[in-house]
Amino acid sequence: MKKKIGVVLLNMGGPDSLDAIQPFLYNLFSDHDIIQIPKPIQKPVAFLISRLRAKKTRKYYEIMGGKSPQKEQTLQQAEKLQSALGEDFKVVVAMRYWHPFTEEALQELFKEDLKGIVLLPLYPHYSRTTTGSSFNEFDRKVKKYIKSGKYTVLSTLKGVKNPYYYSSNIPIKKINCFFNNPDYINAMVTNIKENLPADYKDYYFLFSAHSLPEKIILDGDPYQKQTEETVRLIMQHFQGVKYSLAYQSKVGPVKWLEPFTDQEIERLAKEGVKKLVVIPVSFVSEHSETLYELDYQYGQLAKELGIESYIRIPTLKTHPLFIEALKNLVIKSLQG
C-alpha cells in the first residue's frame, strides 16, 4: 500500500448533546495551558467549576438545538479537504475537549502507512491556549506509540487491524497559524462580501474575537497582535467603512482583553450607529460563541438599543476558498 501524508485538523470541540456539557467543561477547565492553577488541585477545581457552569450553560445549548454543531462542521471540513488533497493524504479530526479526541484521531490515522504528518489547527491565530494546547496534547498522545528504539508496533491500538509500524522518525510538520495568509484573507473577504447588502458602506463593521486573559498576552502570546493584523488586512478591501475590533466570551474574575463585544455594541448605539455588521474573526465554524452570544444574546441587545439592522456574517465552514486555503497550507508546509 502506498505511503500517505496524515493531516490532523485540530479544533476545540463542543458538546454533542446536553449530557456532554459537564464533561466537556471538565476537560476544558482541566487544561493547564488555559487555567494555570496548581496541578494537584486542578482536576478537583475543574470538576467543581464544570458542575456549576453546566447548569448555566445548558440553556445556551437548548437555544442552539441541544448541541454544538462544531463537530459536524469540522468533520465536513475534513471531508472537503480530503477530496481537495486526494488519495495521497489521510485527513482526520482531533478535538481537544470532546469527541473525536486526539487519541481517537490517532487510532484512525495509524491505520495507514504514513510517511509524514501535518498538524493543521483550525485556529487562524496562534495562542498557547488553543493551538499550543492542541499541539501539546498531540505530543503527549503520540508518545504513547513511540517506545525506545526506532519503531513500535501498534498492535495494542484499539480498533486497528493489521497495523503498520509507526516510525518515530516520521516528520511531523506543525502549522502554527495562518492569520495573514493571503488565501485565508481572500476567503474571509469573499465570505463577508457574499453576505453583505448592496448598501454595506452604510454599515459599521464590528469584528468579534474570542477574548483571552490579559496576563497571557503580557507573557508574550501573539494572539492579540495577529488578530489585529487579520482585521487590518481584511479592511484593506473595504475602504471607507468604519470598523473596530472587540472581544467576547470572558470567563472568571481576572482582567481579559477588551473592549468586550457587548460593551462595544452599547458604545456604537450611543453614538448613533443604526446599521451593524458583526464579523466573527477567530472562528471558522459555528458554536456557542457565534450562535448563542453573537446571534441570540448580542442580536437582542442591539435591537433593544435601537440598532435597526444587525447582520452577522457566518463563519467560513466549508467555503470553497477556505478549503483551498487549507489545502495550500498543507502543501506549502511539506515544501518548506
User: Any idea where the domains of the chain sit in the sequence?
Assistant: 4-16+69-177+320-335, 18-63, 196-312
Q: Encode pLDDT of 282-334 as tens digits.
A: 999 999 999 999 999 999 999 999 999 999 999 999 999 999 999 999 999 99
What is the number of other CB atoms lying within 10 angstroms of the CB of residue 101? 18
Q: Look at residue 166 in the predicted model and tell me its pLDDT.
A: 53
Q: What's the CA gap between 136 and 46, in Å, rounded?
A: 19
Which residues does 63 contact at the CB level (< 8 Å), separation at least 6? 291, 292, 296
Q: What's the CA gap between 195 and 311, in Å, rounded?
A: 9
Counted residue by residue, the chain has a size of 336
In what order do the strands lie in the sheet containing 243-248?
243-248, 204-210, 275-280, 309-312
Q: What's the CA gap between 112 and 164, in Å, rounded?
A: 7
Q: Look at residue 37 in the predicted model and tell me its pLDDT.
A: 83
What is the number of other CB atoms lying within 10 angstroms of the CB of residue 281? 24
Kindly report the pTM of this predicted structure: 0.92
* Integer Rg of the chain from CA: 21
Parts of the chain with a pLDDT under 50? 147-165
Q: Look at residue 111 in the predicted model and tell me its pLDDT.
A: 87
Q: Look at residue 224 in the predicted model and tell me its pLDDT.
A: 98
- CATH fold of 196-312 reads Rossmann fold (3.40.50)
Q: Which triple of cell numbers denotes residue 124?
A: 487562524
Q: Look at residue 192 in the predicted model and tell me its pLDDT.
A: 98
Under a CB-based contact definition with an 8 Å cutoff, are residues 248 and 289 in contact? yes
- Establish whether domains 4-16+69-177+320-335 and 196-312 are of one fold: yes
- CATH fold of 4-16+69-177+320-335 reads Rossmann fold (3.40.50)
Q: Look at residue 167 in the predicted model and tell me its pLDDT.
A: 57
Q: What's the CA gap between 4 and 137, in Å, rounded?
A: 23
Under a CB-based contact definition with an 8 Å cutoff, are residues 307 and 147 in contact? no
Q: What's the CA gap between 50 and 226, in Å, rounded?
A: 30
Q: What's the CA gap between 315 and 109, in Å, rounded?
A: 27
**Dihedral pair phi/psi, residue 276, rounded to 5°:** -130, 130
Q: Look at residue 146 in the predicted model and tell me its pLDDT.
A: 60
Q: What's the CA gap between 55 and 65, in Å, rounded?
A: 16
Which residues does 282 contact at the CB level (< 8 Å), separation at least 6? 123, 124, 125, 209, 210, 227
Task: Look at phi and psi of residue 66 and say left if phi exceeds 0, alpha if psi is from -120 to 50, else beta.
Answer: left
